Structures are given as C-alpha cells and as structure tokens.
C-alpha cells in the first residue's frame, strides 16, 4: 500500500504535509477514492495536478449536512462534482427498480455511502456551504442528463440536470482537457459566467445565442411524446464533433445551451493522461473496511482506447466518449505494463486489455474527410460502412509487443469484442491470435438477441453474424487443441421484444449454447439513449414507426424467466409465458420442449465437466 502522502489530499492534514493553505480545485465524487485510471476523480485530479494545479478529493461525503463538504475549505477556482463512475440511479436500482444489495465502488462493498441523484444533492450542499464558489458538474450522470430526459426511476421527463444542480457549467464526455481549459481561464481571472465557448460544455442563459439549433423545449417534450422523439433524433444527428451545431433547449424562461462535443484526443494527449504515475490502489483510509471491491478485477488492466462507433441503440458510450476511436500508442501501453512488474500487488497477469469493444483499437475511416460530416449513428449497422478500415493489425501488433515483456505471464481480453467487426478483419489474424494467446478459457460477446425484430431496434447484427463468429471461434480453438467458451450476453424486454421473440431466443439458447447462460438482464432505460426514447414514446425516433413496448412488470419478469427456463424457480412463470404466447409446443416430453412434463429440469440434474465453465458463476 502506498504512503498516504502519495495520494491527493483528502483532509487538511494532507494539505499541511504539502505546505498548502488552499487548494485550487476540489473534486467531489460519489465513489470512494481509488487512485487508479479507471476512476474518473483520480484521472481528473492527477491530470490537473500534473498541469500545476493544487487538487484535493472529497470522496463520498455525508450529504445529510454541510460538514464533510467543508473539510478541505474553499477552493481558489472551483468545485468539480460527479456522482461517480455510474449514474447513481443505475448504481442503486436494478432494471426492475429494486434496491441493489451493496455498492462495489464503496468501502467493503457496502451501500448507503451516496444518495440517489448524487450530483444534484452534492451540488446543492456546496451551494449551501460556499454560495460564491463556482460549481462544475461532470461525469456520466451529468453527461447523459445534460438536456431534458426521460427518467425511468421516476417515470417522468426531467429537466436538464444543470438546472436542478444549480451548477455554473456542465462538462459532458470524458473532460480532462475541457476541465484544464476551464481551470486555466479561471486562473487568469475570467468570470465563470463568461466562459460559454468551450466545446463539451453546457450552461444556462436568459437569452438565446445566435447560430444555435433550437430543440423542442422541456415543456414540449414533457407534454408531447412526438416532440420527445423529434428531440431525440436531432440530438443523435448532432454528436459528431466536426459538424454538430450548438444546441439550445428552452426550460421556461431559461435556455440550456450545449456546445458541440470536443474534438477527439490525439494519441499524445491520451498517452499523457494514462502515463501519470497512479498508485493503482485505494486510499489507506479504506483498509479497515476491507478495501474497494471494484478495484480487484481492474487493478492491472490496461485501457487501450476511448470511443465506440458501434452505435448500439441501448448504449450511451457514443454519447459520452464519442464515436471516433482515440488510441493510445503501443509504446505508452508497453511502458504502463512494465510499471506493473514493480508493483507489490502484481502477480504477472493483465486481466483485461481493451475498452468498450476491444477490437476497435486503431480503427478509423479510410478517408477521414468523409467522416467529418457523417450523421450515421453507427459505423457497423445496418451494414459495415465501406469507408471504415477494418484491418485489425493494430491490436495484433500491440499484443505481440506486450507478450515480449519479461515478468508478464498472461494478457487477457476480458472486456469483450464486437464479433461482427472481427468478421471484417481481412487477414483473420486477430481472431487466431486472440484464441491462441488472450482468451483465458472464456470470451465475452454480446449478441443481445437473435430475433431480427429485436436486433433491428437494438442496432445490432442479426443471428447469422453471431453464428458465423461462433463457427470460426470453435474452428480455431479446435485446431489449436483448446477448449474455450463464449460467454454470450442477452437483453430481455427491450423495445420490440414480446413473448414470441423471447421464446425464439430461448430456443436458440436450448440449441446453440454450450451451457446454461446467466448473462441475461432486463433492458434498463438509461437517459438519452435511442432505446430509451422508444421505451418512453413507443416509436422509433429514427423512422417514426411504432414499436411494441413490454413495459408491464409481469411481462418483464416473464421474459427473463423464459430465457432462464432451466432454473426451477422460473418454471411456473415460464410455463405461463409460453401458454400466453401460444407456444405450448415448447411444453411437454419432446426433444424440442423447453419445459419437460413431470421431470426435473436439466438445470438441476446436469453434471458439469471440470473444464466447462460454471453456469452459476457470473463473469
């Protein structure tokens, strides 16, 4: 465990050790303080520190009074506030709106360390304690709530979070260089109320600025689902940083202005962030509580890039990180991996090398000029863009470089791959090397569904692509003499998915999976995604066509039970679901029956091979 002095200050005692009377910036986070590049507060704090600013962190303050918010005093420049690595409502509640047990980002994995809608609560406490200090809201909770949005947990349209938080500025996206720009200008004496021209920021004003694209107002989208659908479509047509307009949305007599996204970071800029010497562990103050569970699986993982051009309709990565892939250099990643070897906790294995879709590393448009004004929500759906370079050589070269490092025994790609993109690799070398060197017995993939009705609404490839990938994966592993398995991830109750589509997926699970899947969850409508717009309006915002919405509590539970039909606790509900959708042919004694009559379910009587993945273990 590193000495406490090596962490950013968390109290006045730490400040005194550094000889500081006042901090420039205080970051407030809904997560515990882990000095690791997978924690946003640590990344932002260390990056600002590396650029000469005095930064402190208040992690998981007690929001029931202003006491904890005052423990570092008043910053010279601003408070930066985030709910943490997750939206606080996603962190607290399941897809069925039940309270989650525990919090992996909190000491000992215990819950109760942050409030619902944490960013709003924290910001208003700061206003109470320090009414004159600028507040900058950021993180995923701010990013995906920067405009009016449907809030699943309250089942209503909520206004922009910048209004409810009373923040002076909102930073959306990853934000390091945006925050640096803001801090530099404040340090030079600019007024926070005049800093309205920085990409990747939003602010509130009384007057509509010129040359803005006016979206349907908060009041309009609250009262009209058609207006909400129009608003959502316009938003997704304005996420390209090279061609997007400045957006304006009226909220009563105020306007929320959202500047275009920031330009993608260069490789040099991204390298400069991740080569900061993080402690890669939690602050010592959490030792007695048992540490921070979320650190364990990622402590020695390597992030290779940012962004995603997959454009899945239920996913928010493109909205937050952008469509353009921002890559780290092989040299930088190699240096970071080498630094692991001297860390006292490192045992020789890198558990994950990748990002949201690991195989997007190094990929971009062949003719970049064609990408600058592109409004496609996905480069892969409904078909792979002809301008997209799909040669996976950058990943293959990176793997080869890292495998040469003495002291590193294993390098895994555990974050998952976009399998339809793997099929486009012209050399086929990526999948071969992946199976040979970097799959530790299991590889995560996300077909999500197999019914064409559903995959079209998800913006995902169809069943045929997945089956082709499975065939290639199995062939390569057979030739290598390896027994390795795919861990497919499925979503139930997505817009467009009824009981018949769920039965179709259940049959696929019966016929094609090597073991019983646990990687299944009900669709969660998170703010600002296309799928959430469908869920709320019953209409696909991209074409205006009606969409079936499985929004009743019974059907959402029934769909999940049907996909996990082998579990004895699900039998009664799965039986009812099959009868209700007219699929009684899947009940009985035939080989094709999902539910057998008067026999123990296969889930109970099946004997696992020692080499086969445990069906009860969640990856």
Same domain, 422 and 464: no
Tokens standing for 188? 């030079």
Same domain, 181 and 38: yes
What are the DSSP calls for 150-210, one per residue? EETTTTEEE--HHHHHT-SEEE-SS-HHHHHHHHHHHHTT--GGG----TTEEEEESSPPS
Q: Is residue 274 part of a domain?
A: no
Tokens standing for 468? 């082709």
CATH of the domain at 190: 3.40.50.2300
Same domain, 368 and 470: no
CATH of the domain at 463: 3.30.750.200
Question: What number is the average pLDDT over the span 592-600?
Answer: 76
* pLDDT number for residue 103: 96
* pLDDT number for residue 416: 83
* pLDDT number for residue 515: 59
Same domain, 356 and 451: no
* pLDDT number for residue 348: 95
Question: What number is the average pLDDT over the span 106-127?
Answer: 97
Provide the pLDDT confidence category of residue 304 given band limits of 50, 70 and 90: very high
Residue 576 host element (H or E) = helix 571-580
Reduced to 3 states (helix: H, G, I; strand: E, B; else coil), residue 285 is helix
* pLDDT number for residue 1: 42
Same domain, 491 and 435: no
* pLDDT number for residue 606: 44
Residue 612 has pLDDT above 70, yes or no: no
* pLDDT number for residue 28: 98
Provide the pLDDT confidence category of residue 591 given band limits of 50, 70 and 90: confident
Q: Is residue 497 part of a domain?
A: yes
* pLDDT number for residue 499: 97
The candidate with the shortest Cα–Cα distance to 381, out of 321, 465, 317, 324, is 465
* pLDDT number for residue 415: 83
Q: State pLDDT tens for residues 131-170.
A: 999 999 999 999 999 999 999 999 999 999 999 999 999 9
Residue 41 host element (H or E) = helix 40-50
Task: Tell me the C-alpha distance between 325 and 617, whole Å.
Answer: 32
Residue 603 has pLDDT above 90, yes or no: no
Same domain, 498 and 590: yes
Residue 388 β-bridge partners:
365
Domains: count for the chain: 3
Of 166, 199, 232, at which residue does a domain stop?
A: 199
Of 172, 199, 226, at which residue does a domain stop?
A: 199
Residue 257 β-bridge partners:
203, 248
Q: Is residue 244 part of a domain?
A: no
Residue 618 has pLDDT above 50, yes or no: no
Beta-sheet pairing, 25-29 with 55-59: parallel
Q: Is residue 459 part of a domain?
A: yes
What are the DSSP calls for 238-265, one per residue? T--TTTPPEEEEEETTEEEEEPPPPPPP
Q: Which domain holds residue 37?
A: 4-199
The candidate with the shortest Cα–Cα distance to 306, out of 260, 263, 338, 259, is 263
8 Å CB contact between 236 and 270: no
Same domain, 22 and 43: yes
Task: Tell me the C-alpha distance between 80 and 167, whole Å.
Answer: 10
* pLDDT number for residue 597: 73
Provide the pLDDT confidence category of residue 566 given band limits of 50, 70 and 90: confident
Residue 250 β-bridge partners:
255
Same domain, 317 and 364: yes
Q: State pLDDT tens for residues 42-53.
A: 999 999 999 999
* pLDDT number for residue 616: 37
Provide the pLDDT confidence category of residue 306 given band limits of 50, 70 and 90: very high
Residue 254 β-bridge partners:
251
Residue 3 has pLDDT above 80, yes or no: no
Q: What is the percent of the chain where pLDDT is above 70?
A: 95
Q: Is residue 230 part of a domain?
A: no
Same domain, 417 and 460: no
Q: What is the percent of the chain where pLDDT is above 90?
A: 89
Provide the pLDDT confidence category of residue 4 given band limits of 50, 70 and 90: very low
* pLDDT number for residue 516: 63
Same domain, 349 and 495: no
Question: What number is the average pLDDT over the span 246-260?
Answer: 98
Of 199, 228, 248, at which residue does a domain stop?
A: 199
Q: Is residue 290 part of a domain?
A: no
Provide the pLDDT confidence category of residue 512 given band limits of 50, 70 and 90: confident
* pLDDT number for residue 19: 96
Same domain, 456 and 425: no
Same domain, 432 and 449: no
Residue 2 has pLDDT above 80, yes or no: no
Mean per-residue pLDDT over the chain, rounded: 93
8 Å CB contact between 259 and 245: no
Q: Is residue 571 part of a domain?
A: yes
Rg over CA atoms, the chain: 25
* pLDDT number for residue 221: 98
* pLDDT number for residue 129: 97
């Amino acid at each position: 465990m590193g000495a406490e002095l090596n962490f950013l200050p968390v109290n006045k005692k730490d400040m005194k050790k550094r000889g500081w009377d006042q901090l420039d910036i205080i970051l407030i986070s809904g997560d515990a303080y882990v000095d690791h590049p997978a924690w946003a507060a640590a990344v932002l704090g260390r990056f600002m520190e590396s650029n000469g600013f005095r930064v402190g962190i208040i992690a998981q303050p007690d929001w029931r009074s202003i006491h904890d918010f005052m423990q570092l005093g008043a910053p010279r420049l601003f408070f930066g506030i985030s709910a943490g690595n997750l939206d606080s409502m996603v962190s607290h509640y399941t897809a069925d709106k039940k309270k989650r047990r525990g919090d992996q980002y909190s000491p000992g994995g215990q819950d109760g360390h942050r409030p619902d809608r944490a960013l709003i609560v924290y910001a208003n406490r700061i206003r109470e304690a320090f009414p004159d200090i600028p507040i900058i809201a950021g993180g995923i909770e701010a990013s995906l709530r920067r405009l009016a949005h449907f809030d699943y947990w309250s089942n209503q349209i909520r206004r922009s979070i910048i209004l409810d938080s009373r923040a002076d500025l909102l930073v959306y996206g990853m934000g390091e260089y945006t925050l640096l720009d803001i801090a530099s200008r404040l340090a030079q004496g600019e007024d926070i109320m005049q800093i309205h021209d920085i990409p990747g920021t939003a602010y509130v004003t009384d007057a509509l600025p010129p040359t803005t694209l006016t979206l349907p107002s908060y009041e309009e989208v609250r009262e009209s689902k058609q207006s909400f659908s129009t608003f959502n479509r316009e938003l997704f047509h304005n996420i390209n940083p090279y061609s997007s307009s400045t957006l304006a949305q009226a909220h009563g007599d105020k306007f929320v202005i959202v500047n275009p996204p920031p330009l993608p970071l260069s490789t040099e800029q991204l390298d400069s962030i991740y080569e900061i010497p993080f402690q890669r562990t939690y602050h010592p103050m959490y030792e007695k509580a048992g540490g921070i569970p979320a650190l364990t699986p990622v402590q020695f993982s390597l992030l290779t890039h940012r962004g995603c051009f997959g454009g899945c309709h239920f996913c928010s990565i493109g909205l937050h990180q952008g469509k353009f892939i921002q890559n780290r250099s092989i040299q930088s990643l190699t240096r970071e991996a080498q630094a692991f070897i001297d860390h006292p906790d490192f045992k020789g294995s890198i558990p994950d090398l990748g990002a949201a879709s690991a195989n997007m590393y190094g990929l971009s448009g062949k003719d970049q000029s064609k990408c600058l004004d592109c409004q496609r929500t996905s480069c892969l759906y409904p078909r792979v863009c002809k301008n997209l370079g799909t040669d996976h050589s950058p990943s293959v070269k990176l793997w080869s470089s890292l495998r040469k490092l003495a002291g590193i025994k294993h390098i895994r790609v555990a974050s998952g791959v976009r399998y339809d993109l793997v099929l486009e690799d012209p050399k086929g070398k990526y999948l071969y090397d992946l199976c040979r060197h970097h799959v530790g017995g299991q590889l995560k993939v996300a077909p999500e569904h197999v019914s064409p009705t559903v995959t079209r609404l998800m913006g995902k490839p169809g069943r045929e692509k997945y089956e082709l990938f499975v065939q290639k994966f199995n062939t390569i592993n057979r030739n290598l003499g390896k027994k390795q398995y795919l861990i497919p991830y499925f979503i139930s109750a997505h817009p467009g998915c009824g009981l018949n589509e769920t039965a179709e997926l259940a049959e696929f699970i019966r016929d094609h999976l090597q073991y019983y899947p646990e990687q299944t969850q009900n669709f969660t409508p998170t703010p600002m995604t296309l799928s959430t717009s469908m869920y709320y309006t019953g209409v696909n915002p991209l074409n205006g066509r009606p969409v079936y919405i499985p929004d009743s509590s019974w059907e959402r539970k029934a769909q999940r039970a049907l996909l996990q039909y082998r579990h004895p606790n699900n039998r009664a509900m799965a039986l009812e679901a099959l009868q209700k959708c007219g699929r009684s042919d899947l009940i009985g004694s035939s080989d094709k029956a999902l539910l057998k009559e008067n026999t123990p379910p296969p889930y109970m009587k099946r004997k696992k091979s020692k080499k086969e993945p445990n069906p009860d273990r969640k990856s």
